[in-house]
């Protein structure tokens, strides 16, 4: 019954104790020190994390069903640095829950149901630097709640029910290093001024609180550097006077975020005059026209966000003469349809320009005039229909260009030829069908190229010419399985530096065909994804050119017209360097014995969510380097086929079998239970019995043999015939039907009973009627007796051995029965029926 405990750990499963794969946590092989126990429905953390190694540095237990934490839950993990307990149902923190976590730097308790934070709850966390408490129901904060956290730097309290700013100020008053206090979306209305607030020297976030700006008037906040206060009250559309009085008194203020505050463009100059800002966020402020020096009053501005401000028109004059320090300009989600030549020219220091999701159907080359400093240009979702070789001539230094989700239909030769410094180019989500030869000419610095989610159905030999530094190429979600019979391009052969290639999720229209030379020239490729493709792709695909491959993703392969996906022998031939192989969710039913034999370096194998019923030794035996195996979500059988896996998975100290303690197994007549707890020891015992029986039989034969040679020399001949006959019979058995239903073996003393009772009842009266082979009646006259026995037994479906006290007393008779019945017994298929004609005392 204890098998179904929701937190596994202490279930009555002795075998589980030594297992390196735990029930509820996994230790990702690629992130040493990290333990992931997230999203597993854990209700009691203690038992679930009990087996974790004491070297764990990061523990993720988010998205579980924790309601509390028992004292000393983490005492065995003294080196823990970051702990995520977000998205649980924790209502209260007991004293001592965090005992022993002196080195913890980050604690995430957001999205729980904490109503209060008492003075002792966090007392042990003396090294804490970041505390996340957002999304709880905290209404008050005890003045000493954070008394033990002198090093606290960030305190996140958004989405709670705090109403007293003063209370928060008291609790944080002595935190010399506090640099961020987030109180967004609370119920803070009127702060009572007090000494505590003086020390808030930091970034303060007061978004979405019912606080009137007049309440901050005269408050001592001399060291406040950044203020987030969206929806400032009263709204700034009428009068900026009050706000300016407050903001002007914040002498250290350099960053101001007043989203949703409705400052009219005509008042921006006033705001600029009363502040000294380097960072300004005016998102969602209605500013349809920007012109006439509206930003002239912000000469020190370094970053300006105008996200979603309904801007329709943007003129060069908006910037005043110059904004010489502006580096970042966000203009996403506006209504810009075209941009005048040189519109950003006064922004000579601009390095990051975000124009995403405007309605710029065409870009003139003059748009980017004077933008010699620009490094990042984001034009995602702008309905652009074309780029020409002139488009970016004035933005030559751009290193990252995002053109995703536009309407580009083709990439003409040399379209990006001026972008010699480009390192990242995103062209995903367009409608590109083909790439002209030399489409990317000149992009000699390009490292990352995405062409995902286009309509590409073909790549030619020249598609990627010139991309000599390209490291990653994303071609997922195209239609690259539709090559013709005679297409045999090797499109990637011109990419000597390519390390990562994504060919996942191709739209499949049968017949599925990939060119045989597709992977030619990719000897340096390290990562390849072919996930979410039809199984037919792999029938003829050769991965052998990918000798340097380290990671291969073949998950979510689905059945195609050619049949279900199966791991054909030789599929992984030549991948001797492969370290990680993912085969999740591909409906695999069987692992052929030899399939992984060429993967000598494989360390990580994931076979999650397949249809594997058994795991035998053969496929895993060759994986000498294996350290991590994930078999979760397979319908394992509680059968002897899995006895080896059950033992190996728990006993092998070098391999983590991920989440092993949570695997279930199913068996005939066995309801679902924990795989590790299921008793398969009888499988091993069975083997023992076979060996025992074997040796016993051998010894008996030897004994009987020597006895026979001493006492019954003549029976040796019978023995020989018996063996010969048995051998013949065995060979012939299956090819023909049976002449008799049963062979009757009995002692001469019992023949009368057979004739009068057995034959009469079974052959004449019974329904159905049986045909029996009875020696005195059916044996061929003149033939050797043992030949007759042999013929009779092999011609019968069953052998009926009749035993009586008399039979056992007569030595000769007993031997006769023995010979016939032993023969039948060894023929297998359970043909032997032994009938005791009377009670026979045990000692016989």
Residue 538: CB minimum distance to ligand NAG, A: 9
User: Can residue 4 be called a binding residue for ligand NAG (CB under 6 A)?
Assistant: no
227: exposed, middle or buried (C-beta count within 10 Å: 0-12, 13-18, 19+)? Answer: buried
Measured from the CB atom, is 164 or 172 closer to ligand NAG?
172
Measured from the CB atom, is 171 or 449 closer to ligand NAG?
171
User: Can residue 276 be called a binding residue for ligand NAG (CB under 6 A)?
Assistant: yes
The only residue of 641, 749, 763, 787 in contact with ligand NAG, by rule CB under 6 A: 641
Residue 628: CB minimum distance to ligand NAG, A: 17
Residue 811: CB minimum distance to ligand NAG, A: 44
Token pair in block for residue 305: 């966000």
The only residue of 54, 95, 700, 706 in contact with ligand NAG, by rule CB under 6 A: 54
Residue 211: CB minimum distance to ligand NAG, A: 9
User: Can residue 540 be called a binding residue for ligand NAG (CB under 6 A)?
Assistant: yes
Measured from the CB atom, is 249 or 524 closer to ligand NAG?
249
Measured from the CB atom, is 370 or 536 closer to ligand NAG?
536
Token pair in block for residue 706: 């020597």
Measured from the CB atom, is 295 or 416 closer to ligand NAG?
295
Question: Dihedral through CA 506, CA 510, CA 511, CA 516, nearest 10?
Answer: 0
Torsion angles phi and psi, residue 141, rounded to 5: -130, 120
- DSSP string across 334-371: -------TTTTTT-TT--EEE-TTS------GGGGTT-
Instruction: Give the length of the chain.
Output: 844
User: Can residue 214 be called a binding residue for ligand NAG (CB under 6 A)?
Assistant: yes
The only residue of 234, 292, 484, 569 in contact with ligand NAG, by rule CB under 6 A: 234
The only residue of 199, 283, 305, 428 in contact with ligand NAG, by rule CB under 6 A: 199
Measured from the CB atom, is 211 or 801 closer to ligand NAG?
211
Cα angle: 283, vertex 284, 287; to 5 degrees: 95
Measured from the CB atom, is 404 or 614 closer to ligand NAG?
614
Measured from the CB atom, is 47 or 536 closer to ligand NAG?
536
Contacts of 74 (CB under 8 A, 6+ apart): 49, 59, 80, 83, 97, 98, 99, 100, 101
Token pair in block for residue 94: 């007991």
Output DSSP code: residue 333.
Answer: S
Cα–Cα separations (whole angstroms), residue 23 to 451, 479, 681: 40, 41, 21
User: Can residue 797 be called a binding residue for ligand NAG (CB under 6 A)?
Assistant: no
> What CA–CA distance (Å, rounded) separates 666 from 59?
32
Only one of the segments 17-25, 36-44, 391-399, 432-440 lies at the binding site for ligand NAG (rule: CB under 6 A); that segment is: 36-44
Measured from the CB atom, is 176 or 707 closer to ligand NAG?
176
Residue 487: CB minimum distance to ligand NAG, A: 12
How many residues touch ligand NAG (CB under 6 A)? 37
Placement of tokens 């032994």 in the chain: 834
User: Can residue 345 be called a binding residue for ligand NAG (CB under 6 A)?
Assistant: no
> What CA–CA distance (Å, rounded) separates 270 from 240?
8
Residue 470: CB minimum distance to ligand NAG, A: 29
Residue 276: CB minimum distance to ligand NAG, A: 4
> What CA–CA distance (Å, rounded) separates 623 from 1?
36
Site map 681..710 versus ligand NAG, x via CB under 6 A? x--x--------------------------
Token pair in block for residue 469: 């530094």
User: Can residue 647 be called a binding residue for ligand NAG (CB under 6 A)?
Assistant: yes
Only one of the segments 35-43, 689-697, 764-772, 828-836 lies at the binding site for ligand NAG (rule: CB under 6 A); that segment is: 35-43
User: Can residue 262 be called a binding residue for ligand NAG (CB under 6 A)?
Assistant: no
**Which residues are 450's β-sheet partners?**
426, 474
Measured from the CB atom, is 560 or 794 closer to ligand NAG?
560
> What CA–CA distance (Å, rounded) separates 318 from 304?
13
Output DSSP code: residue 38.
Answer: T
Token pair in block for residue 188: 């803070």
User: Can residue 415 be called a binding residue for ligand NAG (CB under 6 A)?
Assistant: no
> What CA–CA distance (Å, rounded) separates 496 from 657?
37
> What CA–CA distance (Å, rounded) separates 31 from 57?
10
Nearest to 229 by CA among 168, 153, 281, 171: 281
User: Can residue 255 be called a binding residue for ligand NAG (CB under 6 A)?
Assistant: no
User: Can residue 652 be called a binding residue for ligand NAG (CB under 6 A)?
Assistant: no
Q: How many Å separate Cα 301 from the centre of its chain?
A: 44
Residue 63: CB minimum distance to ligand NAG, A: 6
Torsion angles phi and psi, residue 595, rounded to 5: -60, -35
The only residue of 274, 328, 539, 759 in contact with ligand NAG, by rule CB under 6 A: 539
> What CA–CA distance (Å, rounded) separates 123 from 129?
14
Contacts of 482 (CB under 8 A, 6+ apart): 457, 458, 509, 513
Measured from the CB atom, is 178 or 832 closer to ligand NAG?
178
User: Can residue 778 be called a binding residue for ligand NAG (CB under 6 A)?
Assistant: no
Measured from the CB atom, is 54 or 509 closer to ligand NAG?
54
Decide: 741 and 770 in contact? Cβ < 8 Å.
Answer: yes
> What CA–CA distance (Å, rounded) separates 449 from 237?
45
Question: Dihedral through CA 786, CA 788, CA 789, CA 795, nearest 10?
Answer: 140
> What CA–CA distance (Å, rounded) separates 19 from 369?
65
Nearest to 621 by CA among 638, 637, 599, 636: 599
Residue 15: CB minimum distance to ligand NAG, A: 7
Q: How many C-beta atoms lie closer than 10 Å to residue 765's C-beta?
A: 8
> What CA–CA distance (Å, rounded) separates 841 from 820?
23
Proportion of the chain in helix, strand, coil states, percent, rounded to 5: 25, 15, 60
Measured from the CB atom, is 440 or 572 closer to ligand NAG?
572
Residue 513: CB minimum distance to ligand NAG, A: 6
Query: Between residue 568 and residue 627, which ones bind ligand NAG under the rule CB under 6 A?
Result: 589-590, 613-614, 616
Measured from the CB atom, is 150 or 559 closer to ligand NAG?
150
User: Can residue 179 be called a binding residue for ligand NAG (CB under 6 A)?
Assistant: no
User: Can residue 656 be called a binding residue for ligand NAG (CB under 6 A)?
Assistant: no
Measured from the CB atom, is 60 or 804 closer to ligand NAG?
60
User: Can residue 675 be called a binding residue for ligand NAG (CB under 6 A)?
Assistant: no
Residue 108: CB minimum distance to ligand NAG, A: 7
User: Can residue 233 be called a binding residue for ligand NAG (CB under 6 A)?
Assistant: yes
- DSSP string across 713-765: TTHHHHHHHHHHHHHHHHHHGGGS--SEEEEEE--GGGHHHIIIIIIIIIIII
The only residue of 151, 161, 189, 303 in contact with ligand NAG, by rule CB under 6 A: 151
Only one of the segments 433-441, 442-450, 536-544, 601-609 lies at the binding site for ligand NAG (rule: CB under 6 A); that segment is: 536-544
User: Can residue 177 be called a binding residue for ligand NAG (CB under 6 A)?
Assistant: yes
Query: Between residue 61 and residue 90, which ones bind ligand NAG under the rule CB under 6 A?
Result: 62-63, 78, 84
The only residue of 13, 19, 38, 793 in contact with ligand NAG, by rule CB under 6 A: 38
Question: Dihedral through CA 173, CA 176, CA 178, CA 183, nearest 10?
Answer: 10
Q: Which residues bind ligand NAG (CB under 6 A)?
A: 36, 38-39, 54, 60, 62-63, 78, 84, 150-151, 176-177, 199, 201, 212, 214, 222-223, 233-234, 276, 513, 536, 539-540, 562, 589-590, 613-614, 616, 641, 647, 651, 681, 684
């Amino acid at each position: 019954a204890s098998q179904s405990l929701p937190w596994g750990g202490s279930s009555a499963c002795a075998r589980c104790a030594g297992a390196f794969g735990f029930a509820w946590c996994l230790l990702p092989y690629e992130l040493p020190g990290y333990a992931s126990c997230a999203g597993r429905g854990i209700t009691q953390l203690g038992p679930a994390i009990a087996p974790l190694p004491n070297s764990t540095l990061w523990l993720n237990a988010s998205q579980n069903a924790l309601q509390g934490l028992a004292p000393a839950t983490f005492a065995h993990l003294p080196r823990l640095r970051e702990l995520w307990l977000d998205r649980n149902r924790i209502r209260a923190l007991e004293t001592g829950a965090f005992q022993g976590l002196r080195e913890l730097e980050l604690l995430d308790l957001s999205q729980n149901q904490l109503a209060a934070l008492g003075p002792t709850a966090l007392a042990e966390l003396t090294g804490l630097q970041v505390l996340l408490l957002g999304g709880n129901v905290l209404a008050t904060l005890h003045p000493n709640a954070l008394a033990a956290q002198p090093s606290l730097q960030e305190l996140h309290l958004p989405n709670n029910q705090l109403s007293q700013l003063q209370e928060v100020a008291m609790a944080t008053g002595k935190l010399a290093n506090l640099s961020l206090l987030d109180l967004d979306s609370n119920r803070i209305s009127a702060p009572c001024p007090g000494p505590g607030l003086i020390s808030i020297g930091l970034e303060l976030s007061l978004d979405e609180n019912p606080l009137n700006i007049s309440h901050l008037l005269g408050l001592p906040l001399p060291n406040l550097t950044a203020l987030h206060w969206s929806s400032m009250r009263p709204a700034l559309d009428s009068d900026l006077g009050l706000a300016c009085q407050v903001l002007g008194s914040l002498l250290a203020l350099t960053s101001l975020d007043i989203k949703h505050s409705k400052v009219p463009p005509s008042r921006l100059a006033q705001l600029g005059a009363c502040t000294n800002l380097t960072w300004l966020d005016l998102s969602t402020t209605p500013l349809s026209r920007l012109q006439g020096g509206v930003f002239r009053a912000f000469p020190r501005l370094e970053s300006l966000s105008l996200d979603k401000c309904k801007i329709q028109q943007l003129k060069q004059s908006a910037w005043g003469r110059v904004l010489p320090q502006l580096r970042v300009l966000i203009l996403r989600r506006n209504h810009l349809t075209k941009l005048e030549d040189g519109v950003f020219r006064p922004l000579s220091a601009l390095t990051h320009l975000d124009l995403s999701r405007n309605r710029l159907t065409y870009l003139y080359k003059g748009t980017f005039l004077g933008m010699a400093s620009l490094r990042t240009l984001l034009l995602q979702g702008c309905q652009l229909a074309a780029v020409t070789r002139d488009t970016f001539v004035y933005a030559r230094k751009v290193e990252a260009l995002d053109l995703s989700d536009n309407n580009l239909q083709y990439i003409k030769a040399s379209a990006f030829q001026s972008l010699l410094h480009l390192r990242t180019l995103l062209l995903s989500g367009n409608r590109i069908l083909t790439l002209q030869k030399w489409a990317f000419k000149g992009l000699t610095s390009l490292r990352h190229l995405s062409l995902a989610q286009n309509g590409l159905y073909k790549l030619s030999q020249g598609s990627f010419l010139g991309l000599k530094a390209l490291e990653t190429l994303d071609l997922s979600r195209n239609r690259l399985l539709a090559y013709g019979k005679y297409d045999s391009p090797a499109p990637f052969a011109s990419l000597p530096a390519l390390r990562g290639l994504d060919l996942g999720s191709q739209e499949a229209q049968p017949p599925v065909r990939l060119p045989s030379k597709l992977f030619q020239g990719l000897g340096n490729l390290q990562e390849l994804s072919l996930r979410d493709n039809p199984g037919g792709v792999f029938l003829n695909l050769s991965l052998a050119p990918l000798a340097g491959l380290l990671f291969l993703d073949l998950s979510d392969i689905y059945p195609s017209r050619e049949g279900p996906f199966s791991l054909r022998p030789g599929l992984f031939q030549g991948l001797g360097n492969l370290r990680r192989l993912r085969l999740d969710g591909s409906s695999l039913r069987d692992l052929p014995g030899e399939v992984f034999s060429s993967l000598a370096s494989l360390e990580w194998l994931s076979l999650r969510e397949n249809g594997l019923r058994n795991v035998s030794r053969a496929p895993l035996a060759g994986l000498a380097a294996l350290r991590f195996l994930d078999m979760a979500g397979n319908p394992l059988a509680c059968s002897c086929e899995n006895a080896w896996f059950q033992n190996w998975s728990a006993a092998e100290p070098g391999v983590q079998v991920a989440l092993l303690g949570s695997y279930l197994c199913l068996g005939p007549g066995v309801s679902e239970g924990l795989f590790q707890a299921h008793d398969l020891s009888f499988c091993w015992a069975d083997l023992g019995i076979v060996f025992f029986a074997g040796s016993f039989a051998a010894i008996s034969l030897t004994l009987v043999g020597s006895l026979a040679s001493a006492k019954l020399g003549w029976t040796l001949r019978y023995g020989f015939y018996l063996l010969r006959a048995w051998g013949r019979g065995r060979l012939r058995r299956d090819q023909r039907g049976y002449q008799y239903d049963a062979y009757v073996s009995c002692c001469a003393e019992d023949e009368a009973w057979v004739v009068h009772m057995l034959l009469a009842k079974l052959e004449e009266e019974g329904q159905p009627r049986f045909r029996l082979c009875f020696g005195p009646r059916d044996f061929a006259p003149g033939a050797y007796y043992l030949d007759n026995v042999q013929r009779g037994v092999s011609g019968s479906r069953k052998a009926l051995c009749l035993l009586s006290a008399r039979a056992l007393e007569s030595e000769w008779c007993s031997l006769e029965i023995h010979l016939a019945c032993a023969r039948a017994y060894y023929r297998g298929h359970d043909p032997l029926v032994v009938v005791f004609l009377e009670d026979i005392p045990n000692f016989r």
